[in-house]
Structure 1
Amino acid sequence: MERESTEYGQTSSLLLTRISPDISCDGERQQSSYFSSPATAVVVLSTLVAASGSYVFGSAVGYSSPAQSGIIDDLGLSLAEYAVFGSILTIGAMVGAVMSGKIADLMGRRGTMGFSDIFCLIGWLAIVFAKGSWWLNLGRLSLGYGIGLLSYVVPVYIAEITPKDLRGAFAAAIQLMSCCGVSVMYLVGTVISWRTLALIGTIPCMLQLLGLFIIPESPRWLAKKTRGNDCEAALQRLRGNNANISEEAAEIRDYTETLQRLSDSRMLELFSRKYTHSLIVGVGLMVLQQFGGVNAIVYYASAIFVSTGFSSGTGSIAMVVVKVPVTLLGVLLMDKTGRRPLLMVSAAGTCLGCFLIGLSFLLQDLQLWKDFSPIMALGGVLVFTGSFSLGMGGVPWVIMAEIFPMNVKAEAGSLVTVVNWFGTWIISYAFNFLMEWSSEGIFFIFSIICALTILFVAKLVPETKGRTLEEIQASMNSFRAK
């Protein structure tokens, strides 16, 4: 294994020098316009179509809260039965995540998005026509499976088609669309029935399904499948008819051919030494994202407001008002500030938000500042929501799509996505028990985890702004081989 790693490192260093003469072996970026490309109409359209999948994701996550009272009243469900309906989405998503990488490699990025949309449509329609809990849960499970696939393939597709100088902002649109999906469900769900709300959930699925017929496949996936002519044709469409794509096409082809000679893309291969850094970064960011408390706050914000004596309706509306514009700000800053600064500022904000929520619960227990503690809780939730939307919500998915080479991207992406959904399930399931144990204690723990996120990013997460995917992967391989 040591000899294999050494040979891999030597090959990576040579490849790095060949494809990226403006980057030294320690990963330092030098001034260059190499492969700089504007955003063409095809890139914008392709990104919008792909990001529609993130809107589907947000709609599915945001549906259960506004629909709760209507479903319980109309179908006569108990609170426990509705809890099954809400949580089974996560189970379906984990199953989809396990299969996502292999399906995306087999069917292509476009094919996988279309395959996902079919399951999402089936899920929404099953909910629309449900007469009891069985069809309701089956629909929710199908919907979860579909968004489990989408949560992997959407960021990967966007990262593989966009120019390096715009990749961060375009990939960050994933979080913006997801945020819009959640917000629309929250707002619209207050004025229409749960069946109509589920019917509205089918619209982005159908729009994406139709849009997939007019956007190109990922050039990097085509290159991996040794479809060189199709790769160049797709790249030409994405970069514009008059763009010179010869160098970029050559880089993609050379890197793909080198990776195919080096390994055979097995799951065990992912855990070899040469991928350790990428795996630690990808998995670590997802673990820290989930165990920093996001789903505790998103799923149980109303309960938190009620526990602290604040109006749940006012608090929920305030969350929506904060979430959308801050997410848009994160999109605009992604390729200006870079990934690392955005992550560290975001983690610092979530740390402060959790600390304020925990402090408000502590003050209530001590019977101090009774009039001020509800306002502190609201402030903490809003600070956390805004800070998370700025970076920690979307940037880990962007980095996940950037740091793994094509030969292990399927296995790595599936693993990272499963870790994310498993963390979602753990926190959403255990949070109520943890609140009974210690309301302030659990939020202080979340705050500590957010603080550790800052250190993790500072020490281990690479800056990927302004680099092609091949440059990122080659420089990381070269760094690991030293």
Structure 2
Amino acid sequence: MLTPLTSASAFALYQAMLLRSPRTPGDSAKVFVLGSLNLISLSNGIIFGQAACVISSLQKNEEGIQLTEGQISLIASLLIITNVLGFGLGAFIADKFGRRWSFSISSILVVINWIVLYRAKDFYEFVLSRIIGGIAVGALWKLVIFVTAEYTSSKTRAFFLNMVTTVSPAIGTALIHVIGNILHWRTVTLISIIPSVIGAVIPYFWVESPHWLASRRKFEECQTAFRKLHGNTTNSERELLLLLKMETAKFNNAIETNSEPTFKRLLIAFKRKYFWELLLMSMFMHAYIAAGSKLVFTSLAMVMLKDITGTSDVLLFTLLVDSFMIIGSCISLFIRKTSVRTLLFSTGFAANVVIVIFSFCFYFRNGQTYFNWINVCLLAMFFILVNSGPYPLLDAIFSEMFPLELKLYIFSISGVVLVVLLSLTIFLFPYIVNAIGYHGLFLMNAGIMTISLGYMWVKWPETKGRTLQEIEVYFKANNFDVEEVLSKEQTMNLII
């Protein structure tokens, strides 16, 4: 029978681990994992970008495929609606079998999605491909956000999260938008299979996530994997020590309270104030993401730009906006030079001002070509700003804000709201535009984004340079000092 470790025996265990462990540099293992995650994220961007090619073709009734506007809207939105199933699937596989297998299985589903889509000839086949693709991309989308944080250190976490969650998907989307303007969408589908196949194979060769190993009480394997990834610098040893102490304390606490199963720990979390505060914050973050219209543009780029410019020749307009989205994503990498709060709120509120100006310019457009370019440039400037700050930083915040052993499950709960909001934005998009126009749509979205940023301004602390354990302890005990929290009996019961 397992018994809780005393603080003295726990400390002795940590010291023994430190002395026994091999001292190996972690650059090669980390570069391999992060490079793989970037490829998988690029594949995710391709999935959303390729949807624009399919929708544009279906609207033109190409290949004799006759679908109603409602059916086309459903096909477009299903890719997002079924994400919630992927959230649950990804959480279960990643929790039970590890991070590597969750990526491989999800990528295999992406490959199946492409095969079904390539052969699709009627409404039900398109629906089937979107269901499979939605489940797969939902799992990968969430896993990329949370798992990347586990493979990086506190000093580089924000930088690599920006790269994986923002830059790579933007490149994938832009690439497929360009190819989709040149080649038939079925040919684009065949090309899209390639990164998905690679993404299904390479996770097998990863070092397993040290954080997952620690959450499964595999402490010796955890410290070996951690050093393969991060080496044995002073900072990495401190981060490893905090990880081991935190997970051992939670393990002991779970034994004492008879709450080892994940479901019981979730029930305990439901009774804690910090859980509901984080859940409420995630709702405002979801509202910002949905209102930011990035996903709508990614999925319906050619449709939107045809409406905004009044011309069907939108290749140059598409290249401009996609290029600016990539530029904005690359600018986000400069987070290493500034604080999270400074970059988030400066770019976030500036983006709101730009989109309000766009709304007025679009409303008063005079039909001249130069005015089309002004509107498209304003839209591009908006995406530069949201991709340089809010979008990558919100992903980073999602990766930090929930407890390690429960974060995938908690996000599956809060993610339902995100999926509903994103699905509605795509499904209702044509109806909203018909009712209030693009100027009304973006003006409404600017209001939602401003309210969401205002709430986060009040609630979110500066977390740059903090370990995941320090951030977790802060939201549970309002204190970044892990050692102090673990040493006080009155705060120990908060760590589950």
Q: Does 1:250 align with 2:241?
A: yes
Task: Give the match for residue 472 of structure 2.
Answer: 473
- Tell me by how many angstroms 1:293 deviates: 3.4
Aligned to 1:25: none
1:155 matches 2:145:
yes
Task: Compute the displacement of 1:86 (Å).
Answer: 2.1
Deviations for 1:82-119, whole angstroms, at most 9, x for unmatched residues? 33332221122122123332332112111111110111
Q: Residue type matched to 1:349 in 2?
A: A
Going from structure 1 to structure 2, the CA distance change for 1:168 and 1:194 (only over 3 Å counts) comes to same
Alignment of 1:176-187 (within 5 A): 176-187=167-178
Letter in 2 for 1:457: M
**2:107 alignment partner, one of 104, 117, 134:** 117
Partner SS, residue 189 of structure 1: helix
Structure 1: how far apart are the matches of 2:177 and 2:31? 28
The Cα shift of 1:436 comes to 2.3
Look up the match of 2:458: 459
Deviates more, 1:253-262 or 1:304-313: 304-313
Deviates more, 1:123-132 or 1:209-218: 123-132
Aligned in 2, Cα 1:117/1:305: closer, same or farther, shift over 3 Å? closer
CA distance in 1, matches of 2:420, 2:371: 33
Which amino acid counterpart does residue 152 of structure 2 have in structure 1?
T
Q: Separation in 1 of the partners of 2:319 and 2:235?
A: 49
Give the superposition deviation at 1:147.
0.5
Give the count of matched residue pairs.
444
Change in Cα spacing, 1:85 to 1:308, as seen in structure 2 (3 Å) is: closer
Letter in 2 for 1:128: Y
How far apart, in 2, do the equivalents of 1:195 and 1:299 lie?
A: 16
Shift of 1:128: 2.0
The yes-or-no answer on 1:54 pairing with 2:45 is: no
C-alpha separation in 2, matches of 1:303 and 1:135: 22
CA distance, structure 2, for counterparts of residue 202 and residue 371 of structure 1: 38
Contact 1:305–1:377 under 8 Å retained in 2: no
Q: Distance in 2 between matches of 1:87 and 1:369?
A: 31
Q: Match of 1:104?
A: 94
Give the Cα separation in 2 of the matches to 1:441 and 1:471: 43
Which residue does 1:281 correspond to in 2? 281
Q: What amino acid is aligned across from residue 275 of structure 2 in structure 1?
A: Y
C-alpha displacement of 1:39: 7.2
1:114 touches 1:212 (CA, 8 Å); kept in 2? yes
Indicate how the Cα distance of structure 1 residues 306 and 128 shifts in structure 2: closer, same or farther if over 3 A, else same. Answer: closer
With 376-385 and 303-312 compared, the bigger mean Cα shift is at 303-312
Which among 63, 76, 83 is matched to residue 73 of structure 2? 83
Letter in 1 for 2:213: L
Name the CA distance, whole Å, in 1 between partners of 2:53 and 2:129. Answer: 17
- 8 Å CA contact 1:164, 1:467 repeated in 2: yes
User: What is the CA distance between 1:136 and its match in structure 2?
Assistant: 2.9
1:276 is displaced (CA, Å) by 3.1
1:197 and 1:102, CA in 2 relative to 1: closer, same or farther beyond 3 A?
Answer: same
CA positional deviation for 1:268: 3.9
Partner of 2:325: 323
Q: Which residue of 2 aligns with 1:140?
A: 130
1:56–1:147 CA contact under 8 A, matched in 2: no
Task: Tell whether 2:212 aligns with 1:221.
Answer: yes
Match 1:428 to one of 426, 429, 433 = 426
In 2 relative to 1, CA 65–244 (structure 1 residues): closer, same or farther, beyond 3 Å? closer
Q: Secondary structure of the equivalent of 1:466?
A: coil
Match of 2:379 in 1: 381
The alpha-carbon distance between structure 1 residues 48 and 426, as it changes in their structure 2 partners (threshold 3 A), is same
Distance, in Å, in 2 between the alignment partners of 1:425 and 1:143 is: 14
Alpha-carbon contact 1:123-1:142 (below 8 Å) kept = yes
| Distance change >3 Å, CA 246–CA 361, structure 1 → 2 | closer
Distance in 2, matches of 1:246 and 1:291, equals: 41
Alpha-carbon deviation of 1:132? 3.3
The letter for the 2-side match of 1:135 is: E
Structure 2: which amino acid aligns with 1:279?
A: L
Offset of 1:167 from its aligned partner? 0.5
C-alpha contact (below 8 Å) 2:49/2:176 kept by paired residues: yes
CA contact (8 A) 1:116 1:146 kept: yes
Distance of 1:121 and 1:412 partners within structure 2: 28
Q: Structure 1 39/285 Cα, relative in aligned 2: closer, same or farther at 3 Å?
A: farther
Aligned counterparts, 1:328-367, within 5 A: 328-330=330-332, 332-364=333-365
- Residue 301 of structure 1 and its aligned partner are, at CA, apart by 4.5
Tell me if structure 2 keeps the 8 A contact 1:100–1:414.
no
Question: Hey, what's the Cα distance between the residues in 1 that align with 2:162 and 2:297?
Answer: 21
Q: Which residue of 2 aligns with 1:12?
A: none
Q: Which of 137-146 and 258-267 deviates more? A: 258-267
8 A Cα contact 2:151 2:209, kept in partner: yes
Give the root-mean-square deviation of aligned CA atoms: 2.8
- Is 1:446 the counterpart of 2:437 in the alignment? no
For 1:297 and 1:359, the matched residues in 2 are separated by 19
- Once residues 191 and 455 of structure 1 are traced to their aligned partners in structure 2, the CA distance between those partners, rounded to angstroms, is 43
- Cα distance, 1:127 vs structure 2: 1.4
Deviation at 1:243, TM superposition (A): 8.0
Unaligned runs of 5+ in 1: 1-18, 20-36
Partner SS state of residue 190, structure 1: helix
After superposition, where does 1:266-305 map in structure 2 within 5 Å?
266=263, 267-271=266-270, 272-305=272-305
The counterpart of 1:165, out of the listed 155, 159, 181, is 155
One-letter code aligned to 1:60 = I
- The equivalent residue for 1:396 is 394
1:67 CA drift (Å): 3.3
Residue deviations 1:172-227, cap 9 Å, x none? Answer: 11211111111111011222222221111111112222211221111011011111
* CA distance in structure 2 between the partners assigned to 1:84 and 1:274 by the alignment: 37
- Rounded to whole Å, the distance in 1 between the matches of 2:234 and 2:184 is 50
Does residue 74 in structure 1 map to residue 53 in structure 2? no
Amino acid at match of 1:321: S
Displacement of 1:66 after TM fit? 2.2
CA 1:79 to 1:258, structure 2 compared with 1: closer, same or farther past 3 Å? Answer: same
Alignment check: 8 A CA contact 1:360 1:374 kept: no
- Residue 75 and residue 86 in structure 1: after superposition, are their counterparts in 2 closer, same or farther (change >3 A)? farther
Other structure's SS at 1:393 match: helix
